[in-house]
Amino acid sequence: MARLIWRVAPWAVVLALAAAWEIFAASGAVTPFMLPRLSVVLERIRADGASGELWQNLAYTLYRSFAGFFIAGALGIPLGILIGRNRAVRWLFDPLISVGFPMPKIAFLPIVTLWLGFHDVSKITMVVLDASFPVVTAAIAGTMSVERELLWSARNCGARGAALLREVVLPAALPQIFTGLQVALPIALIVAIVAEMKMGGVGLGGAMITATRFADSPGVFAGIVEIAVAGYVLVKLMAVLRRRLLLWHPEALAPATV
Amino acid sequence: MIQIEGVSHTYRTTDGRDIPALEGVSLEVREREFIALLGPSGCGKSTLLYLIGGFLPIASGSVRVHGTPVTGPGPDRGVVFQHFALFPWKTVLGNVLYGLEKLGVPRDVREKRAREFIDMVGLTGFEESYPSHLSGGMKQRAALARTLAIDPKVLLMDEPFGALDAQTRSLMQAELLAIWHRSPKTVIFVTHDVQEAVYLAQRVFVMSARPGKIKAVVETSFERSDPHIFKSKAFVDKVDEIWGLVRDEAMKAQKGRPF
Amino acid sequence: MRLGLVSADVLPSLSAVASAWWNLAIDPDLWRNAAASLYRGGAGLALAIVVGGALGIAMAWWRPVNALASPLVEMLYPMPKSALIPVTVLWLGFGDGSKILLIFLGCMLPVTLGAFNGARSCEQALVWSARSMGASRLNVLWDVVVPSALPELLNGIRTALALSFILLVSSELIVARAGLGYLIGFLGEGGVYDAMFAVVLMVAFLGFFADRVYMLAASRVLRWRD
């Protein structure tokens, strides 16, 4: 019985919050401009969905985030492994990464726009620029923490060069690399949305900034709910994927967390 | 004096099953007596210690220390844990000072007393070291100093030397005995090491596999200052006798485990 | 860079950027904007640390608090924080208030999660030790749980620090009338690219130095480890 309560409690809290939003907004304590009723916002999302506008915006935002995210992964993972395994490459990239990692890359947005224009290329470039750092640093850390004994016994079995990297180093570093990807995905979304807000046009971020300009507060709150749901679903999907991919890892047995 | 009567305890696992850890345990420890609780892992000997310490709620039965029922932890019962439980963010001195602070010992007395006990366990010169810079044996000395400094009437020790290497362990055993001879306290010492129990304790309480019960009480009395005690016939016979009692329980405890 | 492969507008030479920065630096305008940014970032982050840290430790210590707060934390943690920019503007306008609120909301969750995980990882034996030495439950919270939580809490704050720069710069780029992000956008729209590059680099290095100084301070606080 007690266990059932703790299971139901989270949903009850979410429902209670939704109800509180609706009641508070309807009470007249704040103007509908400051906080439109939840039902109005949901109705707006439904209307946007019916007209197809929501799906178009969502598709563009996700396309930009994912394109940048995949490029960041495709560049970052091999680069990170290489840096972790090769001293010369490490010497070359280490200063770049230790300076670049803590920098707010978003400040380069106007420069990237200046170079690449207002199209998708500059938005995706911004996403790559921001999302690749966590991937690279995670791949370096994962590669460097592979146990020597594991490498030695693989060498004993005859693994060499690329096979050693692919068959031993990559799987052994995978838990940490995946953690890096899990950090990078929300960053990719954040950056894509900021870029859209700054440059305007199609996309969830662009739609929200347009709504702000026209003081269309149901539009703004609809955007928040849409983006929050999208972020939540993506993060949960990554957690599920992680458990599938890392079945051999002890933590796969533990319940998935945030 | 410690009186334990009909104590049972049940653990609730995270998936909601109830596991009986102790069943109807009764025992009495005399004033300034050194006893050992001996049993296979999972027999509930640590649980019993935690009940006396007041860390776990006593659901059935009663535990009295000097006539007063235990309702919670208190400085009359000092505890030494297997993994030291030193505050890693405090120095050795800071750790030893902590309990004295909570007792309300005045500042100048506090410092002097702490240094005395650090000296007693042989850690002079390491007052300002953090636990992470000490070896396992030194950590346990620091933990011992911290507990002894608050001068508890009862000392509860939960496999205190279990995490140490063999040489350090035997050194610490001898030192613990020396300290106890100098200022005798009531000691309840939990261990799964038969030789350690026979060497240290005046009486050894052998516990059965889960759910834990007291299976036998064995009196031991040796001249412990004898350096060759471990080879003496009386000692070896005693260890054999107790090992015979424990072995069946250890094998029972092994069953139903994955490995 | 001086080979003329690219137009000097698109990639001004380093010397041009340096002299543009100097020209900005002798004008109080740059410092007025920097002060505005610093104030917003500092206030938002400080609020996030105080409220987020207290919430995280309370969640670990009292189960009802956890039951109430953790569904919200879990739901909102993955949310791209930049989505909040328009709302904060809607509520508090174009000035400092909206930026501080944004940074507070965006940075709070990493701090909360760090404090929560840190406090939860506090060893039972440490709590029991303190209790057996006469510490009250409230003593234990302050003397044992909070220091145990410190390493993870400081890690969460580092994430929050990085996030505060991102949120500050992006919100100032998008809607503001002051601040370094605003200045970048203003210079860019005016076509003063060498000055824009100068401010961009200045912001990037401020972020870098803030992180370095923070790490240095954190390692001082945690010098008891290893």
**pLDDT tens readout for residues C189-216:** 888 888 988 999 999 999 999 999 999 9
Question: Is C226 a domain residue?
Answer: no
CB contact under 8 A, B102 and C133: yes
Q: What domain range is A184 assigned to? A: 35-253
CB contact under 8 A, A198 and C205: no
Give partners of A (≥3 CB pairs < 8 A).
Answer: C
- Domains held by chain B: number: 2
Residues ≥6 apart with Cβ < 8 Å to B218: B203, B204, B206, B238, B241, B242, B245
Nearest to C210 by CA among C162, C151, C152, C172: C162
Judge if B64 and B16 occupy the same domain: yes
Which residue of B77, B90, B130 is in closest CB contact with C132? B77
Nearest to A199 by CA among A108, A105, A122: A122
Chain A neighbors of C90, CB-CB under 8 A: 33-34, 212, 215, 217, 220
Query: pLDDT by residue for chain B (259 residues), tens digit each?
Result: 899 998 999 888 777 788 888 888 899 999 999 999 998 877 788 999 999 999 998 888 899 999 899 998 988 999 999 998 999 999 999 999 999 999 889 998 999 999 999 998 989 999 999 999 999 999 999 999 999 999 999 999 999 998 888 888 988 998 899 899 888 899 999 998 998 999 999 999 998 887 888 888 988 877 766 777 777 888 888 888 888 888 877 777 676 554 4
pLDDT at A247 over 80: no
Structure-token match 């006539």, residue found:
B67
DSSP 8-class letter at C22: H
**Residues counted in chain B:** 259
Q: How far is C-alpha B192 from the chain's CA centre? A: 11
Question: Is A122 a domain residue?
Answer: yes
CATH of the domain at B47: 3.40.50.300
Judge if B58 and B88 occupy the same domain: no
Å between C23 CA and nearest CA of chain A: 20
State residue B186 phi and psi, 5-degree precision.
-75, 125
Predicted confidence at residue B138, as pLDDT, reads: 93
Q: Strand pairing of B186-191 and B77-80?
A: unpaired
Question: Is A28 a domain residue?
Answer: no
| Separation of alpha carbons A10 and B223, rounded Å | 63
Which residue of C10, C80, C169 is in closest CB contact with A231? C80
Q: What domain range is B146 assigned to? A: 82-151
Judge if B191 and B256 occupy the same domain: yes
Q: B107 is written with which tokens?
A: 């500042």
Predicted confidence at residue C180, as pLDDT, reads: 93
| Separation of alpha carbons A236 and B224, rounded Å | 63
Question: Is A258 a domain residue?
Answer: no
Report which residue type is found at C28.
P
Show the 3-state SS of C97-152.
HHHHHHHHHHHHHHHHHHHHHHHHCCCHHHHHHHHHCCCCHHHHHHHHHHHHHHHH
Å between A88 CA and nearest CA of chain C: 25
CB contact under 8 A, B85 and C134: no
Judge if B69 and B98 occupy the same domain: no
Question: Is A73 a domain residue?
Answer: yes
Predicted confidence at residue A251, as pLDDT, reads: 57
What average pLDDT does this structure show over A185-211?
90
Question: Is B122 a domain residue?
Answer: yes
Question: Is B64 a domain residue?
Answer: yes
Contact in structure between C78 and C110 (CB atoms under 8 Å)? no
Q: What is the pLDDT of residues A80-116, one digit of tens each?
A: 999 988 889 999 998 888 888 888 888 888 888 888 8
Question: Is A226 a domain residue?
Answer: yes
Question: Is C15 a domain residue?
Answer: no
Contact in structure between A40 and A218 (CB atoms under 8 Å)? yes
- Helix (H) or strand (E) segment spanning residue B60: strand B60-65
Structure-token match 């009292």, residue found:
C62
Which residue of A14, A191, A204 is in closest CB contact with C71? A14
| Separation of alpha carbons B98 and B114, rounded Å | 10
| Separation of alpha carbons C80 and C82, rounded Å | 6
Å between A157 CA and nearest CA of chain C: 36
Report which residue type is found at B205.
F
Question: Is A65 a domain residue?
Answer: yes
* CB-side neighbour CA atoms (13 Å) of B28: 5
What phi-psi label fits residue A119: left (phi over 0), alpha (psi between -120 and 50 degrees) or beta? beta
pLDDT at C23 over 90: no
Q: What is the pLDDT of residues A208-229, one digit of tens each?
A: 999 988 888 999 999 999 999 9
CATH of the domain at A85: 1.10.3720.10
Structure-token match 């509930």, residue found:
B44
Chain B contact for C137 (CB, 8 A cutoff): no
Nearest to B27 by CA among B194, B242, B185, B217: B217
Question: Is C59 a domain residue?
Answer: yes
Chain B contact for C138 (CB, 8 A cutoff): no
| Separation of alpha carbons B3 and A1, rounded Å | 36
Q: For the purposes of burial, counting CB atoms within 10 Å of the CB of A204, is it exposed (0-12), middle (13-18) or buried (19 or more)? A: buried
Q: Residue C86's closest chain A neighbor by CA?
A: A212
Q: How far is C-alpha C110 from the chain's CA centre? A: 10
- Domains held by chain C: number: 1
Share above pLDDT 70 across residues of chain A, in percent, rounded to a whole number: 95
Question: Is C108 a domain residue?
Answer: yes
Å between C212 CA and nearest CA of chain A: 8
Chain A neighbors of C110, CB-CB under 8 A: none
Chain C neighbors of B77, CB-CB under 8 A: 132
Mapped onto helix, strand or coil, the DSSP state of residue B81 is coil
Contact in structure between C179 and C33 (CB atoms under 8 Å)? yes
Chain B neighbors of C129, CB-CB under 8 A: 79, 81, 85, 87
CB contact under 8 A, B79 and C132: yes
Predicted confidence at residue A255, as pLDDT, reads: 40
Give start and end residues of each alpha helix (H) in chain B: 45-53, 92-103, 107-120, 136-149, 166-182, 194-200, 233-254
| Separation of alpha carbons A81 and A173, rounded Å | 9
Chain B contact for C225 (CB, 8 A cutoff): yes
| Separation of alpha carbons B55 and A222, rounded Å | 51
The DSSP code sequence of C161-176 is: HHHHHHHHHHHHHHS-
Give partners of B (≥3 CB pairs < 8 A).
Answer: C
Judge if B1 and B63 occupy the same domain: yes
What average pLDDT does this structure show over A39-44?
92
| Separation of alpha carbons A192 and A174, rounded Å | 26
CB contact under 8 A, C80 and A211: no
Report which residue type is found at A50.
A
Chain C neighbors of A114, CB-CB under 8 A: 10, 188, 193
Q: For the purposes of burial, counting CB atoms within 10 Å of the CB of A13, is it exposed (0-12), middle (13-18) or buried (19 or more)? A: middle
CB contact under 8 A, A231 and C82: no
Nearest to A244 by CA among A229, A257, A256: A256
Judge if B18 and B63 occupy the same domain: yes
| Separation of alpha carbons A171 and A159, rounded Å | 14
Predicted confidence at residue A243, as pLDDT, reads: 83
Chain A contact for C93 (CB, 8 A cutoff): no
CB contact under 8 A, C185 and A194: no
Q: A126 is written with which tokens?
A: 């911004």
Structure-token match 């509520």, residue found:
C91
Predicted confidence at residue A257, as pLDDT, reads: 37
Q: What domain range is C134 assigned to? A: 20-221
CA distances from B109 to A26, B100, B114, B124, B181 (A): 65, 9, 9, 18, 25
Q: What is the pLDDT of residues B65-104, one digit of tens each?
A: 998 999 989 889 999 999 989 999 999 999 999 999 998 8
CB contact under 8 A, C86 and A212: yes
Among the three residues B151, B177, B198, which one is the final residue of a domain in this structure? Answer: B151
Query: End-to-end alpha-carbon separation of chain B, Å?
Result: 41
CB contact under 8 A, B74 and C134: yes
Among the three residues B107, B126, B151, which one is the final residue of a domain in this structure? Answer: B151
CB contact under 8 A, A231 and C78: yes
Residues ≥6 apart with Cβ < 8 Å to A118: A199, A201
Maximum Cα interatomic distance, chain A, rounded to a whole number of Å = 75
Q: How many CB pairs under 8 A join B and C?
A: 68
Judge if B1 and B128 occupy the same domain: no
Selected residues 47-86 of chain C with any CB under 8 Å from a CB in chain A? 67-68, 70-86
CB contact under 8 A, C125 and B83: yes
Q: A91 is written with which tokens?
A: 């010497």
Tally Cβ neighbours within 10 Å of residue A118: 13
**Residues counted in chain A:** 258
Structure-token match 């890892």, residue found:
A249
Show the 3-state SS of chain A.
CHHHHHHHHHHHHHHHHHHHHHHHHHCCCCCCCCCCCHHHHHHHHHHHHHHCHHHHHHHHHHHHHHHHHHHHHHHHHHHHHHHHHCHHHHHHHHHHHHHHCCCCHHHHHHHHHHHHCCCHHHHHHHHHHHHHHHHHHHHHHHHHCCCHHHHHHHHHCCCCHHHHHHHHHHHHHHHHHHHHHHHHHHHHHHHHHHHHHHHCCCCHHHHHHHHHHCCCHHHHHHHHHHHHHHHHHHHHHHHHHHHHHCCCCHHHHCCCCC
Contact in structure between B177 and B200 (CB atoms under 8 Å)? yes
pLDDT band of A168, cuts 50, 70, 90? confident
Question: Is C180 a domain residue?
Answer: yes
Chain B contact for C96 (CB, 8 A cutoff): no
**Residue of C90, C194, C215 to mutate, interface with A, max A Cβ within 10 Å:** C90
CATH of the domain at C125: 1.10.3720.10
- State the complex-level ipTM: 0.85
Nearest to C134 by CA among B140, B188, B158, B100: B100
CB contact under 8 A, B87 and C126: yes
Question: Is A30 a domain residue?
Answer: no
- Domains held by chain A: number: 1
